[in-house]
Amino acid sequence: MQKYYIKTFGCQMNVHDSEKIAGMLKSLEYEETNKKEQADIIVFNTCCIRDGVEQKIFGNIGDLKRLKKQNPNLIIAICGCLSQQNGRAEVIKQKFPFVSIVLGTHNLNELKNYIVKFKQTHKRIFDVWEKEKAIDENVEMFRTSNYNAWVNIMYGCNNFCTYCIVPYVRGRERSRKMEDVYSEVESLVNNGYKYITLLGQNVNSYGNDINDGKTTFANLLKLLTTIKGDFRIKFMTSHPKDLNDDVINVIATEPKICNTIHLPVQSGSTKILKLMNRNYSREQYLNLIKKIKQAIPDVYLSTDIIVGFPNETEEDFLYTYTLIKEVNYGGVFAFMYSKRTGTVAEKMENQIDEKIKNERVNKILKLSKSLIKQQNKEMCGKTFEGIIEKELENNKYLAVLHSGKNVIVESENSLPILSFQNIKITNNEASQLFGVINN
């Protein structure tokens, strides 16, 4: 059997798209290999969110020349956000003559046809569609986990945050129908999946494009919790401007929905938020957090931060720093601002020095580490729900809490693998949590 190798760059959306790529390759009778040297076809599913990511991918594509020399029949396909980006397909075409196929995000499902065609004609295929097309519900996929499933609820983004390339490479918001999401989730649950993670660039605007008064994120969540079975729902990403009371209430009241919210703030300075076109102020964000914490006292909050956005002064940065401290996030993903071609921020004056960005990002990483250390200490004595992932040795199991934290659980009774359990944290040593069952 011929073998395929897929390398994924970027976000969860891409990780899930790669499951669709794998589905297409399986249906063409390829089997997976994790060694690219053994592959007959290599697919890079790419990202262009920051320049660093882009440069790394170009480097990785360059490295494939060696493999193509060893195996002239090797097929190399490049898809995803980088190839969708204006002009990049042409760059790949010129710079890397050994690449066989390039396609964008809007025609991902065509990959299968392109491979068949390439095998017949041996002519290089470069096809990037400018516009998004209607949602295709008949996609094959090959899921990488047997208990963790990603489910797209919408595609694209309408927000045009001034730094961000995503709306340019993923098109406008398109929501799947509630009944289509429902049947996918129901079948996943029936097949033993335990975590369903709903995916969208801004899940809180789910249904806005359908605009029938019924298709909303809160209603979707409610509907999915009516599915019978032992499973939990997660979702990402939430946009602070659209996360409303209805959604907060559903999370607070439905035990099947995990109390974890990824709520990127990006900056703690109202001035910078305005320049970013985020549509909320520092005060509005903090009020929202207050509301969430009141409704969901054990909520686990995480965020994304951009430092060094144009015009960010030391004072603006301090606003971000103090906001992170005040919210006391469980997870902080901090990035240095990276100029993206075609975005509004690209043209802004007062771009910030790389050295300053670097200092600021390090300060945030340090702060985040210290917050997490303290949070882990405070977890001792408290009980959290998690899933038993595997047995480590006699009477010891690895459990993963909904927040993603690992806990080593000691239990005299044998614990079913992939069962949800309430775990009381007893100890926290060198950032490893220990616990016992407390059902």
**Site for ligand F3S, rule CB under 6 A:** 10-11, 13-14, 47-49, 81, 165-166, 169-170
3-state secondary structure of 99: coil
Q: Which is nearer to ligand F3S, 8 or 215 (CB)?
A: 8
Pick what 160 binds: ligand F3S, ligand SAH, ligand SF4, none; C-beta below 5 to 8 Å, kind-dependent: ligand SF4
Sheet holding 331-336, edge to edge: 260-262, 300-307, 331-336
- Beta pairing class for 300-307 and 148-152: unpaired
State both tokens at 2.
């011929």
* Least distance from ligand SF4 to the Cβ atom of residue 89, Å: 22
Q: Which is nearer to ligand SF4, 100 or 237 (CB)?
A: 237
State both tokens at 55.
């440069």
User: Judged by CB under 6 A, which stretch of 154-162, 224-232, 246-254, 364-372 contacts ligand SF4?
Assistant: 154-162
Q: Which contacts (CB < 8 Å, 24+ apart) does range 327-330 have? A: 327/265, 327/286, 327/289, 327/301, 327/303, 328/301, 328/371, 328/375, 329/301, 329/302, 329/303, 329/368, 329/371, 330/300, 330/301, 330/302, 330/371, 330/372, 330/375, 330/403
- Phi and psi angles of residue 236, each rounded to the nearest 5 degrees, phi first: -160, 145
The residue from 77, 92, 128, 164 that contacts ligand SF4 (CB under 6 A) is 164
Is 307 one of the binding residues for ligand SF4 (CB under 6 A)?
Answer: no
Pick what 13 binds: ligand SF4, ligand F3S, ligand SAH, none; C-beta below 5 to 8 Å, kind-dependent: ligand F3S
- Beta pairing class for 101-103 and 75-80: parallel
* Least distance from ligand F3S to the Cβ atom of residue 9, Å: 7
User: Judged by CB under 6 A, which stretch of 113-121, 157-165, 252-260, 295-303 contacts ligand SF4?
Assistant: 157-165
Strand ranges (DSSP E) for 135-227? 148-152, 154-155, 174-175, 195-199
Q: Which is nearer to ligand SAH, 4 or 168 (CB)?
A: 168
Is 202 one of the binding residues for ligand SF4 (CB under 6 A)?
Answer: yes
Residues 234-273, one symbol each (x = binds ligand SF4 by CB under 6 A, - = not), give: -----x----------------------------------
* Least distance from ligand SF4 to the Cβ atom of residue 172, Å: 11
Is 152 one of the binding residues for ligand SF4 (CB under 6 A)?
Answer: no
Pick what 4 binds: ligand F3S, ligand SF4, ligand SAH, none; C-beta below 5 to 8 Å, kind-dependent: none
- List Cβ neighbours of 369 (8 Å cut-off, separation of 6 or more): none
Q: Which is nearer to ligand SF4, 194 or 282 (CB)?
A: 282
Q: Which is nearer to ligand SF4, 269 or 428 (CB)?
A: 269
State both tokens at 28.
């063409």
Judged by the rule CB under 6 A, the positions of this chain that interact with ligand SAH are: 49-50, 163-164, 166, 201-202, 237, 239, 264, 266, 304, 306, 335, 337-338, 340
* Least distance from ligand SF4 to the Cβ atom of residue 151, Å: 18
State both tokens at 218.
């809160």
Query: What DSSP string describes 24-52?
Result: HHHHTTEEE-S-GGG-SEEEEEE--SSHH
User: Judged by CB under 6 A, which stretch of 84-92, 164-172, 177-185, 324-332 contacts ligand SF4?
Assistant: 164-172
* Least distance from ligand SAH to the Cβ atom of residue 239, Å: 6
Cβ contact 325:367 at 8 Å? yes
* Least distance from ligand SAH to the Cβ atom of residue 161, Å: 7
Pick what 200 binds: ligand SAH, ligand F3S, ligand SF4, none; C-beta below 5 to 8 Å, kind-dependent: none
CA-CA distance, 322 to 367, in Å (whole number)?
Answer: 10
* Least distance from ligand F3S to the Cβ atom of residue 312, Å: 22
Half-sphere exposure of 378 (CA within 13 A, CB side): 9
* Least distance from ligand F3S to the Cβ atom of residue 97, Å: 25
User: Judged by CB under 6 A, which stretch of 31-39, 163-171, 208-216, 246-254 contacts ligand SF4?
Assistant: 163-171
Q: At what angle do helices 12-27 and 111-121 cross, to 10 degrees?
A: 50
Closest CA to 21 of 41, 1, 49: 41
Cβ contact 265:256 at 8 Å? no
- Beta pairing class for 2-8 and 30-32: parallel
Pick what 10 binds: ligand SAH, ligand SF4, ligand F3S, none; C-beta below 5 to 8 Å, kind-dependent: ligand F3S
DSSP assigned state of 197: E
Q: Which residues bind ligand SF4 (CB under 6 A)?
A: 157, 159-161, 164, 166-167, 201-202, 239
